[in-house]
Structure 1
Amino acid sequence: MNNPAPLTSRDTLYIAGMWSEDSDRAWIEVENPVTEDVIGRVPSATNADVDRAVTAAVDLHRRGGWRDIGISERAKALSALADGIERRASDFEALYTLDQGGLAAFANFTAAAAAAIFRDTASLAQQIDLGPTRRDTTTGSVYVSREPVGPVAAIVPWNAPLVLAAVKIAPALLAGCPVIVKISPETPLVSFVLAEVFAEAGLPEGLISFLPGGRDLGRYLISRPGIGHISFTGSTAAGQQVMATAAERMTRVTLELGGKSAALVLDDAEPEQFAPLLAAGCTVQSGQVCTTQSRLLVPARNGKQWLDALTQAFDNLPVGDPADPSTAVGPLVSRAQLDRVESFVETARQEGATVLTGGGKPAGAPFEHGYWYLPTLLTGTNSTMQVNREEVFGPVITVETYEDLDAGIEAVNDTEFGLSNGIYTSDIDRALSIAPRLESGAVAINSAGPNVTAPFGGLKMSGLGREGGIEGVEAFLETKQVNLPASS
């Protein structure tokens, strides 16, 4: 298609199904984390834009302009959107590398995953009965139906702007809800391409809006009357604020929050075989993933062998230009993120940790600019240290030993978080027997993360509710009874 604007600079926002230009808006400068150069700019949405988006969404919902077309027709629209995402895959992939520093080797996954989320969600229409269904009980008869909760405020973080937008938008739309998407200012570019996909789809006015902006914009959006559900992905601290705001109006929430995931390596796993797998999985997107397995727990009986194998595997990870297909670790997203990672490692050193490898910026001319940090492996840590208690969001991994399986499981669960954990073993049946003992919403066997089209969410301080699968759609539905007169 002919793009209405260059991919890295935009002057309009997609609000309530229309492109809107306003000279009074401020601008968000978009930075390339490889070079630190400003590569473009996009408008920053205002509170007035939020008002317009919410008003249009509420109007559409009350008129039944999306709800009343039926779930089968909504599913067809989702399938068409999946096709549109696939047609624009090369643009999504280019922007993933440009404004986020994401790896070219991983970029194609983001577009494919987003399309899969829309397509898989569409397929759920055949499994969801919205009713009305008659129920005859000892106290009378009722019709029970499930109805869309209303306009959804979807707060999308910077680290996975396409996939996490998809996992919020698709189920809400299938349920019959309009959506207002608040986009992070750190990585806003992909949202404009996604908006173009929606614009081409010919959907009703008011159905969707994409609003780039910071925390104040998000706070204003979730506080607006008319919002029926808040779907938020971000830090636990921010999630607590969202929950407090939602409580004022009893707004429904789905919260996918922070994690401090562990990889429990069983005693049958061979270091030479599994160390490269662990190193690659722990440093996906330079560790800027909520499910990063940042705590490695290995058997004490061959702990030295594991330390040697992991150090070698981390040293073998190529750091460099994310556009190069051979690169395994790219830059962090921003100066603020680099400062955060450096602070965590320095604090760990002061608390007694030993840096086995990494622990700083790479040397050499290619790394004079940009937000680089070497894959870092720490040992000599314990569960009381900051690096093991808080989410780093960088390529910083601790490795500790455990004496027996019970001790290993106890170490996995010794955290306030419960998002996702991993089990590494050559015995899948054994892993399946251990998985129920791990206090997390997801467990990955011999892999680094969850399935993006299955129900996913956290326990403990890692959140409330589930995204993905039928459970993800049901989050946007409310149950209603219509009580029949006694003679019916």
Structure 2
Amino acid sequence: MTNDLAGTVERSSFFVGGRWRPPAGTERVDMFEAATGSPFGVAALAGTADVDAAVSDALHGPWGRATGAERAATMRRLGVALTARAKGTAALVSRENGMPRSLSIGANGFAPPMMLDYYAGLAEQLDVDDLRSGTLARVRVRRGPVGVVAAVTPWNYPQALAAMKIAPALAAGCTVVLKPAPETALDAYVWAEAALEAGLPDGVLNIVPGGREAGAHLVAHPGVDKVAFTGSTAAGRAIGEVCGRLLRPVTLELGGKSAALLAEDADLDAFLAALPEVSLANNGQTCHACTRILAPRHRYREIVDAITDTVRSLPVGDPLDRDTRIGPLVSGAQRDRVLGLVAAGRAAGARATTGGGVPEGRERGWFVEPTVFADLDNDAAIAREEIFGPVLCVLPYDGEDDAVRIANDSEYGLGGTVWTTDPGRGQALADRIRSGTVGVNHYALDVLGPFGGIKASGLGRELGPEGLSPYVALKSVYLTPESR
């Protein structure tokens, strides 16, 4: 097994029960560098027997009986071990999915240790029971782990999204079976190396990369007590149906088609400076990206031209290059899907003001030019579908009420932003947008704030103290009333 940034990366075993375990089958996936399309690694993929073994090992162990303070100490050691690997992890993810390294170093390198430290602090607070004196009884409310967690994660922010599940689960005393996506099967094992270094007890964290069959088997496994999933809305609906039938708790963080509402008084320069992060982060492969930009009609041409110039100027290239702002997409299939949606938008009459194809000189790898569409309305397919690529739509509106209507006219409700020089106005508009999260003059997930969506964007929340609750099982112990 090697993990050299410039060489081949091979992962031929799974991490189960605190040790490296050979796969039960022979299925493997070849990994291709997003920037070149060249092979650079290989990983074993789990079958149902491997999932069974991981769940079986997760069912046993003392982790749930440890004190919150004991778990917190181990979690912090795990964070230290991940921090030591942060730069290499970030680069590996960039090779896998095309994320510019400038973004990956935070999202995949240093965000997971930060989340572990935050939830370690909350774990320490779980040691104290809540004693309530009522009329009929004294009630001792105990907080314990919900049990075995199936964490199913996608390829776009693999380390951060794994941490959003692993950190609160460990804090609550749960054990975890992590099933990362095949596209990012390699970087998941950084967690295994860090777990061994930190002394995480055997079976607390198990890692079995796999495809749809392995994921479906894990979600429905009788040994699983809770499911945490991030991915597409279609997959989320299927998982939700299974968990509903099984009466199994589930958290679903799904797709989005968020709007950036530029108010009449918006500072256009401020928005343009933030646009790469707010609307095109990770080459558009971001669920909460504001890919619909709402502009007041009397400023529409000005805003379209300014956005076009900004997007056209973004450096496209190797995600490992410090200057790159737009890297390749995760795969050839994803590139072809995005280009197909762009072609459909043009055929439907929308005008591409920039981009729309493969960048010149970037025929190798999975690149798509950052693209801006104008002269369309919110009913256009490209304004309604989650494209998951560097494609923006600029839509005109007539008055504030119309802007809010368009922002809310979506099956999704995950993110959004409001841009205005009046902070009070910005917060008032944010309150009118039907979405799980909204930013005013910026957008940045913070570990303190619950993150998640409404409508087709999912169920439940991650991050913040609210992100711990799904992993905690409450038990009321009724004691005799105090003598009066």
With structure 1 as the length reference, what TM-score do the two structures score? 0.94
Letter in 2 for 1:50: V
Letter in 2 for 1:351: A
Contact kept in structure 1, 2:17 and 2:204, CA below 8 Å: yes
2:122 corresponds to: 124
Letter in 1 for 2:114: A
Q: Return the alpha-carbon distance in structure 1 between the equivalents of residues 482 and 264 of structure 2.
A: 68
Q: Return the alpha-carbon distance in structure 1 between the equivalents of residues 311 and 476 of structure 2.
A: 58
Query: Would the alpha carbon gap of residues 203 and 265 (structure 1) be closer, same or farther in structure 2, given more than 3 Å must change?
Result: same
Letter in 1 for 2:411: E
In structure 1, the residue corresponding to 2:59 is in which secondary structure? Answer: helix
Is 2:34 the counterpart of 1:36? no
Q: Return the alpha-carbon distance in structure 2 between the equivalents of residues 7 and 142 of structure 1.
A: 58
Is 2:282 the counterpart of 1:285? yes
Is 2:109 the counterpart of 1:114? no
Deviations 1:195-248 (A, max 9, x none): 100111112111111111111100000111121110000111111110111122
Query: Would the alpha carbon gap of residues 7 and 160 (structure 1) be closer, same or farther in structure 2, given more than 3 Å must change?
Result: farther
Contact kept in structure 2, 1:287 and 1:395, CA below 8 Å: yes
Contact kept in structure 1, 2:25 and 2:47, CA below 8 Å: no
- Of 290-299 and 110-119, deviating more is 110-119
Contact kept in structure 2, 1:91 and 1:193, CA below 8 Å: no
Deviation, 1:461, is: 1.2
Contact kept in structure 2, 1:279 and 1:310, CA below 8 Å: no
Is 2:436 the counterpart of 1:441? yes
Is 2:186 the counterpart of 1:189? yes
Is 2:343 the counterpart of 1:342? no
Q: Return the alpha-carbon distance in structure 2 between the equivalents of residues 279 and 468 of structure 1.
A: 24
2:60 corresponds to: 59
Is 2:354 the counterpart of 1:353? no
Deviation, 1:373, is: 0.5
Query: Would the alpha carbon gap of residues 337 and 356 (structure 1) be closer, same or farther in structure 2, given more than 3 Å must change?
Result: same
- Of 233-242 and 444-453, deviating more is 444-453
Contact kept in structure 1, 2:47 and 2:213, CA below 8 Å: no
1:384 corresponds to: 379
Deviation, 1:141, is: 2.7
Deviation, 1:23, is: 7.2
Letter in 1 for 2:115: I
**Residue of 77, 80, 93 corresponding to 1:80:** 77
Contact kept in structure 2, 1:17 and 1:208, CA below 8 Å: yes
Letter in 1 for 2:349: G
1:97 corresponds to: 94
Is 2:179 the counterpart of 1:178? no
1:11 corresponds to: 12
Structure 1 vs Structure 2 CA RMSD: 1.9
Is 2:462 the counterpart of 1:464? no
> Within 5 Å, which residues of 2 pair with 1:56-455?
56-60=57-61, 65-110=62-107, 111-126=109-124, 128-129=125-126, 131-364=128-361, 367-455=362-450
Q: Return the alpha-carbon distance in structure 1 between the equivalents of residues 127 and 376 of structure 2.
A: 51
Contact kept in structure 1, 2:3 and 2:10, CA below 8 Å: no
In structure 2, the residue corresponding to 1:456 is in which secondary structure? Answer: coil
In structure 2, the residue corresponding to 1:377 is in which secondary structure? Answer: strand
Contact kept in structure 2, 1:182 and 1:212, CA below 8 Å: yes
Deviations 1:333-392 (A, max 9, x none): 10111111112111211222111111111112xx12111101100012222221122110
With structure 2 as the length reference, what TM-score do the two structures score? 0.95
Q: Return the alpha-carbon distance in structure 2 between the equivalents of residues 112 and 487 of structure 1.
A: 50
Deviations 1:96-146 (A, max 9, x none): 2211112122121121111111111112235x4454333222232322212
In structure 2, the residue corresponding to 1:186 is in which secondary structure? Answer: helix
Letter in 2 for 1:56: D
**Residue of 470, 475, 479 corresponding to 1:475:** 470
Letter in 1 for 2:210: G
Q: Return the alpha-carbon distance in structure 2 between the equivalents of residues 217 and 378 of structure 1.
A: 39
Deviation, 1:274, is: 2.5
1:47 corresponds to: 48
Contact kept in structure 2, 1:291 and 1:448, CA below 8 Å: no
Q: What residue ranges of structure 1 are gaps of 5+ in the alignment?
A: none
Deviation, 1:7, is: 6.8
Query: Would the alpha carbon gap of residues 171 and 400 (structure 1) be closer, same or farther in structure 2, given more than 3 Å must change?
Result: same
Query: Would the alpha carbon gap of residues 455 and 7 (structure 1) be closer, same or farther in structure 2, given more than 3 Å must change?
Result: farther
- Of 242-251 and 268-277, deviating more is 268-277
Contact kept in structure 1, 2:283 and 2:327, CA below 8 Å: yes
Deviation, 1:449, is: 4.1
In structure 2, the residue corresponding to 1:216 is in which secondary structure? Answer: helix
Query: Would the alpha carbon gap of residues 252 and 433 (structure 1) be closer, same or farther in structure 2, given more than 3 Å must change?
Result: same
Q: Return the alpha-carbon distance in structure 2 between the equivalents of residues 292 and 369 of structure 1.
A: 26
1:25 corresponds to: 26
In structure 1, the residue corresponding to 2:20 is in which secondary structure? Answer: strand
Contact kept in structure 2, 1:291 and 1:449, CA below 8 Å: no
Letter in 1 for 2:27: A
- Of 341-350 and 426-435, deviating more is 426-435
Deviations 1:275-327 (A, max 9, x none): 24224531111100001111000122211111111111111111111111111
Q: Return the alpha-carbon distance in structure 1 between the equivalents of residues 270 and 138 of structure 2.
A: 62
